[in-house]
Chains A and B, each alone.
Chain A
Amino acid sequence: MRGWLARAAGAAAFALVTACGVAGGQSTAGGSASGTPVKIGVVTGLTGTYAQLGEAQQNGAQLAIQELQGKAGNHPISVLVRDDQIKPDLALNQAKSLVQVNKVDFLTGCVSAATTVAINQVAKQAGIPYLGTCQTEALNRPPDFGPTTFHIAPLPSQDVNAIMPWICQNLGKRVYFLQPDYAWGHEQYDAEQKAAPADGCTIAGVTFAPLGTSDWTPYIPKLEAANPEVLMVGMAGNDQVSFLKQAKQFNLQSRMKIFQFLEDLSFDEQMGFDVTAGTYGATNFYWTIKDPGTQKFVKDYEKAYGKPPSGYAAYVYNAVMLIAKQVAAGHVTPSQFSKALAGSRFDLAEGPESIRACDHQSFQPTYIVQGLTQDEAASKGGSASYGYRSIVRTIPASEQQAPSCSELGLS
């Protein structure tokens, strides 16, 4: 039995490795000559716990190319989307393949702090720009930060520092933190540990749960026993959806305020009004933001995909548009691109934003949103079908919310 089991496992492993593919070849910097095609590689998680975020990123990239009509100035521009299944090793292989086989000129995309570092590593080695589009503390500081590394999603600490004062003032002082057990969850909690006491809150407890947890019932008695006033849910994707649905079955919402560290329309759609009503969440994009750039993006996205966009679609849409804008302006080589984008301001899908020159970190407002009932959706949420939330507070972007350049050793 053991002999054939081992042979079977070996064959399966070989099949998996072959399916994933390992690319070879040489890296070249392309797109510098006038009219040369410019290719953008998008590595994102189309499978797994964060599949809804990956699909949104794919949609955002394709919508941007559609709006650009495949042209950035006189350069044809295109995107190649690859699925990393939110696995760092696969993200590394996909990014390598895009660089070495497909000869992409730029890399962007990511839905996990665990994969973004791998993609950036490939971009740095190839000397091409990478625009990270998921929350992480890694990209804007050594050792991962590089001259062509940009982070156009917020740092977890930025959002923590933006929302924590509001939570402590408006929802309750005793906060329990339920975090995903990987880089992003720990980065959140590192910032929360500092921010909560400083903003007048106490920490009722913390639990880290493995990424991909689907059965949350063993976690709930512990949360109830801690008796917090606020439960901060640090998970995203299917983990957040399944937790909140199970919390609803345990009627947790009636005993504590629930705050989602990352709100996203795709999660709300999966949960439905019954679950989201009365909860709170933080986001850096919401489709009802009254900004001309945002509303143009929302209108175009609805036309293309039949529903409003989520924040992760906006990140990659912005990334492709930023690249196209610089290419059209003649800033095609990595150094030209980097020099032009660092310290710049732009107004695209998420409204006005800036990129700090020292660490290439973007700064954008944070929104606190509250879940509405289905009856309130049309009047307060802007749509009977998608009006899951109303914005209750807009916290302006501020460099005070992030570590300073000197703290990062980049001044």
Chain B
Amino acid sequence: MHLIVNQVFTGVVSGAVLVLLALGLNLIFGFMEIINFSHGAFFMLGAYVGFYLLTAFGSFWWGLALVPPLLLLLGAAVERTLIKPLYRRSAVDPLLLTFGLTYIVTQLVEMVAGKQGETVNAPSQLNFQLPLGFTSYPAYLTFVAVLAALIVLGLWLLLERTSLGLIIRAGIRDSTMIQILGVDFDRFRVLVFALGIALAGVAGVLDSPVTGVYPEMGNDILITAFVVVVVGGMGSFWGAVLSGLVIGVLVSLTTLFASVYASIVPFVLMILVMTFRPRGLLGTT
């Protein structure tokens, strides 16, 4: 029993980064109806920028503090220059563009940083075991889970308790209607895209002391993040949160009993959800 509890907690911690990544994807898809294939590349870019800031300033915290605003600006620039011209065109075009962007960003990182990857040390302040009653757990991983929970809460408050959030939620529900009502939809599109990219960047920084940084790191996690979005329900905020945690826990428990099947668990879950509940766990349409 002790081992099961331990494994469930580990799954929740592993799922926390997935949740952040999936929420960004979900926001962009829900508001802009774009499947952002470059999300994993920005996750990787956030991790690399965090690594270089750590190298330059000698502290992990610089990366965590600066990557979100930097990625926010980068996201806004990408939306204005590359994605905006495609809004009046077929929905396939932005998909292909972001698909190509993944390759470009990954190749650029490989050219600058090499293919080998780098390791990132967890901040020295969190380099200890935290007694949690049922187990002792690395303080850094506990911090990741707590910070991810705070970001989720902050994002929820932004969407639910502010006029900005009201417009975003209305845009997710019916973008035509808010344009008819006179909302400058274009201005909000850049904001939502930038916010989604910033979330990917934070997830990358938080994940870097766990997995290290390497050019393909975004490709590996993006597929699982897509599964999280589909299982949770396209566009559903709490669906992405629930689905990310459920997938984290299921993968963790499968690792305990049959590790070779752990990597297929998210896909089995997706097949089951799409068969029996096509709108996702908490999706509405």
Cβ of B212 < 8 Å from any Cβ of A? yes
Contact of A238 among B138, B212, B255, B260 (CB under 8 A): B212
Q: A218 contacts B121, CB within 8 Å?
A: no
**In the complex, what's the smallest C-beta–C-beta distance from A288 to chain B, in angstroms?**
22
Stretch at the interface among B6-14, B49-57, B161-169, B238-246: B6-14
Q: B3 contacts A242, CB within 8 Å?
A: no
Cβ of B176 < 8 Å from any Cβ of A? no
How many cross-chain pairs have Cβ atoms below 8 Å apart between A and B?
119
A266-B116 in contact given A12-B99, A217-B14 (Cβ < 8 Å) = yes
Task: Point out residues on A near B: beta carbons under 8 Å.
Answer: 1, 4-5, 7-8, 11-12, 46-48, 51-52, 54-55, 181, 207-210, 212-215, 217-222, 225, 238, 241-242, 245-246, 249-251, 266, 270-272, 274-275
Cβ of B129 < 8 Å from any Cβ of A? yes
Give the residue name and chain of the B residue nearest to A215 (CB): B14
Q: B260 contacts A218, CB within 8 Å?
A: no
The secondary-structure label for the interface of chain B is: helix
**In the complex, what's the smallest C-beta–C-beta distance from B49 to chain A, in angstroms?**
19
Stretch at the interface among B61-69, B89-97, B181-189, B195-203: B89-97
Q: B216 contacts A210, CB within 8 Å?
A: no
New A-B contacts (16) at CB < 8 Å, excluding given A218-B11, A242-B212: A4-B92, A54-B115, A181-B260, A208-B260, A210-B260, A217-B210, A217-B252, A218-B251, A219-B255, A219-B259, A221-B135, A221-B256, A245-B119, A245-B210, A251-B129, A270-B119
Cβ of B263 < 8 Å from any Cβ of A? yes
Q: B262 contacts A8, CB within 8 Å?
A: no
Cβ of B222 < 8 Å from any Cβ of A? no
Q: B263 contacts A218, CB within 8 Å?
A: no
Q: A55 contacts B115, CB within 8 Å?
A: yes
Q: B13 contacts A217, CB within 8 Å?
A: yes
A4-B90 in contact given A218-B14, A225-B3, A249-B141 (Cβ < 8 Å) = yes
Q: How far is the CA of A7 from the CA of B90 in the complex (A)?
A: 12
Q: Which B residues are CB-close (under 8 A) to A272?
A: 119, 121
Cβ of B214 < 8 Å from any Cβ of A? yes
Q: How far is the CA of A217 from the CA of B16 in the complex (A)?
A: 13
Count how many chain B residues have C-beta atoms less than 8 Å from C-beta atoms of the other chain: 47
Give the residue name and chain of the A residue nearest to B139 (CB): A249
Q: Which B residues are CB-close (under 8 A) to A221?
A: 3, 6-7, 10, 135, 256
Q: A249 contacts B140, CB within 8 Å?
A: yes
Cβ of B79 < 8 Å from any Cβ of A? no
A52-B116 in contact given A8-B96, A208-B260 (Cβ < 8 Å) = yes
Cβ of B179 < 8 Å from any Cβ of A? no
Q: A47 contacts B216, CB within 8 Å?
A: yes
**In the complex, what's the smallest C-beta–C-beta distance from A290 to chain B, in angstroms?**
29
Contact of B262 among A210, A214, A249 (CB under 8 A): A210
Q: B118 contacts A270, CB within 8 Å?
A: yes
Q: How far is the CA of A270 from the CA of B114 in the complex (A)?
A: 13
Contact of B119 among A213, A241, A250 (CB under 8 A): A241
Q: A222 contacts B256, CB within 8 Å?
A: yes
Contact of B211 among A7, A207, A214, A222 (CB under 8 A): A214
Give the residue name and chain of the B residue nearest to A206 (CB): B259
Q: B91 contacts A4, CB within 8 Å?
A: yes
Q: A218 contacts B92, CB within 8 Å?
A: no
Q: A8 contacts B129, CB within 8 Å?
A: no
Q: Which A residues are CB-close (under 8 A) to B251?
A: 218
Q: How far is the CA of A214 from the CA of B208 in the complex (A)?
A: 10
Q: B210 contacts A246, CB within 8 Å?
A: yes
**In the complex, what's the smallest C-beta–C-beta distance from A250 to chain B, in angstroms?**
6
Cβ of B217 < 8 Å from any Cβ of A? yes
